Structure 1
Amino acid sequence: MIKNEKIDFVLTWVDDSDPNWIEDKNKYDTNNKLPSVRIRDWDFLKYWFRSIEENAPWVNKIHLVTWGHVPKWLELDNPKLNIVNHRDIIDEKYLPVFSTTALEISLYNIPNIAEQFVYFNDDMFINDKVNSDDFFVNGLPKDIGVMSPILPVQEGVAHIVLNDLQLINKYFNRTDYLKHFTKFFNLKYGVNNFRSLILLPWNRIMGFYDQHLPLPLLKSSYQEVWNRFPELMNDTLSHRFRDNRDYSVWLMRYWQLLTGNFVPRSLNFGKYYQIEDNTVNIDKEINQKLHKLIVLNDNERLVNFEKTKEEITRYFDNRYPDKSSFEKEF
């Protein structure tokens, strides 16, 4: 791989309070395929930008992917900011889409996106100083080559990940990851090496350990996958809402792993939290900077949304009190 100094960040975001978006969604969402817990906005976006400016000022460009709305406070003239409408990356015949899988597999279509980019959901934050080589080294993504069987649970995206793995197993098997032995069995993975070890008797790829963290990705990986499976990718775009027949961004990640196009990274680089009514651990995480990356994931088990939102907003405001250059001066 040739090293490319430029690294972009990509963030997908939706304003679930936008009346025009609500009207558009309700035309198609007759069976509540998009529950509110999956899309409700916590108003943390300004803290995302503040954290980026403080902790990753080296980023080349930030691409904010939206249905068409932007926050009123956002400084659109910031030279590092690029607003990306869904129509910029997805053919008009498939729009509107309300599916994250459709958006995620289309990110490589962002005009002028760098070969190296990091994909964020809006619940993912950089909470301590990071360098570019925390995400890419000599043009290769930093990632975790740990094997782990897919869990057949009803919640989440198990069906979609299984679709990804079915394609992967047409082209790869155990021999392919053993070619890159030191990347799939590495001291940085600690005891998690046993996950891969236990799966060695099977020639098939049973699954990967998927940390729900920002994903370092290569535009060229997208292009290779799309060139091989154009019909399946376009079929995913045809589903306005997430569907069990979809293929996902994990397919691009798995392709990178099995071709050896990655550099091993510690599993302790980031921490995933399911937001609960007791937010003490999140307060500690944000203000003591325990991990470089954190994920604050919404879920149905949360009882008091407004109270919890107010608490976490206070934690972020204590940690990032100053406006960033991505915010307007009112």
Structure 2
Amino acid sequence: MDIDYVITWVDGVDARHKAKRQQFASETHFSPGVLSEKQYEPRYSSDGEIYYNIASVLKYAPFIRRIFIVTDNQKPALLDAFVQEGKCKADFLQLVSHDEIFAGLEAARPTFNSLAIETVLWRIPGLSEHFIYGNDDVFFNAPVTPNDFFRNGLPVFHGKWKRAEDRRLKYKLRQFLAKVSSYRNDRPRHRIFLWRGAALARMKRRYLCMGHYSFALRKSTFERFFAQNPDVLKRQLSFRYRNEAQFNSVSLANHLEMVQNGIVPVREPGLAYVDEIVHKTEMEKIRQGVVPFGCIQGMGGYKAAARMRLHRIMIEKFADTLPESVKHMLMSELAVS
């Protein structure tokens, strides 16, 4: 069974990309007092996480056929170093532009909306039926096998069950306030996106709340659903920035698999999750490799000492699959910081 790996990536520092964000942000209304995604620069920042992600695939997931990196006609500066320094074959790393995955859907372009982009990843030309999707800030922290992601041709997934959001008092209160006041219930919320994905799959009472892992998916699951529900796809892609009316496409696929194929979520395998608080215990999980998955959230917002420590741990961990030029670049940035 062929298994591909898909990474979404953006260079938010790129002047052209920033200019486009500002140009189209005026089309989108954000409630007063809510920090909009056009203003939240760290959401579009890149601090070398994608190189760790690629290195982790090479080190811990050798069964991956190809890595597709989806960008808005951009390219990580040192991507070619993996081939030039013999870390992988020339055709292993494939750049995919938004032009390709949004072909025939040009009205949605440009988009700065991760939910919209994730919804059309299945349209990557040449993508295998079975694929794994991960943001650029996730990585494999220990060896994994195909069986960790697919069993009998069906995806493996995990999470915790939560009560449907429209059955929770907090959600009902927000809805009520929106009706009787100027309050706008439009702040992007991860749990809302997950719940809406489950609801589209006709799971109304509860939904699976997923962590920051790499996700096993099947291309045909998306193909069938959107062939039958083209209006759902059109509406999902109509938002240039994330909007609470949208859904998480991974959640949609997982809940469709549960409804249609009776898949039961498995126990969560363990995650090393480091954010701006930068827990030392989480860094230690990375250093020791005691859990199979890792995620680095918002590294650009870390204090210099914490960022330096994390980079050193990651460079040491992936010393054999990170190109020397990438290590040099990362270490040079550490010296400046």
Alpha-carbon deviations, 1:133-167, whole Å to 9, x = none? 11111211112375321455766323333433332
1:38 aligns with 2:43: yes
1:89 aligns with 2:89: no
Alpha-carbon deviations, 1:159-192, whole Å to 9, x = none? 33343333233xx5xxxxxxxxxxxxxxxxxxxx
- The equivalent of 1:186 in structure 2 is none
Alpha-carbon deviations, 1:185-238, whole Å to 9, x = none? xxxxxxxxxxxxxxxxxxx43222323311100111101221222111111111
- The equivalent of 2:4 in structure 1 is 8
Q: Given residue 59 of structure 1, which amino acid in structure 2 is its aligned partner?
A: I
Q: Secondary structure at the match of 2:244?
A: coil
- The equivalent of 2:282 in structure 1 is 282
1:254 Cα deviation from its structure 2 partner:
1.0
1:39 Cα deviation from its structure 2 partner:
2.3
- The equivalent of 1:312 in structure 2 is 310
Does structure 1 conserve the Cα–Cα contact (< 8 Å) formed by 2:188 and 2:244?
A: no
TM-score of the superposition, structure 2-length normalised? 0.78
User: 2:189 is matched with which residue: 156, 167, 170?
Assistant: 156
1:80 aligns with 2:97: no
Gaps of 5+ in 2: 31-35, 84-88, 172-186, 329-337
Partners of 2:37 and 2:131 in 1: how far apart? 30
TM-score of the superposition, structure 1-length normalised? 0.79
More moved, 307-316 vs 109-118 = 307-316
User: 2:150 is matched with which residue: 136, 140, 149?
Assistant: 136
Residues 82-231 of structure 1: pairs in structure 2 closer than 5 A: 82-90=94-102, 91-144=105-158, 147-150=161-164, 156-169=189-202, 204-231=204-231
Partners of 2:305 and 2:324 in 1: how far apart? 27
Q: Given residue 258 of structure 1, which amino acid in structure 2 is its aligned partner?
A: V
Partners of 2:76 and 2:163 in 1: how far apart? 40
- The equivalent of 1:50 in structure 2 is 55
Residues 251-330 of structure 1: pairs in structure 2 closer than 5 A: 251-260=252-261, 262=263, 264-267=265-268, 269-271=269-271, 273-298=273-298, 304-324=302-322
1:329 Cα deviation from its structure 2 partner:
11
Q: Given residue 306 of structure 2, which amino acid in structure 1 is its aligned partner?
A: T
Alpha-carbon deviations, 1:241-283, whole Å to 9, x = none? 111121221111211122235465331x131525134441232
Q: Given residue 97 of structure 1, which amino acid in structure 2 is its aligned partner?
A: T
Q: Secondary structure at the match of 1:148?
A: strand
Against the structure 1 CA distance between its residues 329 and 297, is the aligned structure 2 distance closer, same or farther, given a 3 Å change threshold? closer
Q: Given residue 285 of structure 2, which amino acid in structure 1 is its aligned partner?
A: E
Partners of 1:259 and 1:137 in 2: how far apart? 16
Partners of 2:93 and 2:260 in 1: how far apart? 32
Partners of 2:55 and 2:43 in 1: how far apart? 24
Against the structure 1 CA distance between its residues 213 and 329, is the aligned structure 2 distance closer, same or farther, given a 3 Å change threshold? closer
Q: Given residue 266 of structure 1, which amino acid in structure 2 is its aligned partner?
A: R
Against the structure 1 CA distance between its residues 94 and 324, is the aligned structure 2 distance closer, same or farther, given a 3 Å change threshold? same
Q: Secondary structure at the match of 1:246?
A: coil
Partners of 2:326 and 2:241 in 1: how far apart? 34
Alpha-carbon deviations, 1:22-54, whole Å to 9, x = none? 111111124643312322222222111111111
Partners of 2:240 and 2:217 in 1: how far apart? 24
RMSD: 2.7
Q: How many residue pairs are counted as aligned between the two chains?
A: 290
More moved, 208-217 vs 108-117 = 208-217
Q: Secondary structure at the match of 1:118?
A: strand
Gaps of 5+ in 1: 173-203
Does structure 1 conserve the Cα–Cα contact (< 8 Å) formed by 2:193 and 2:248?
A: yes
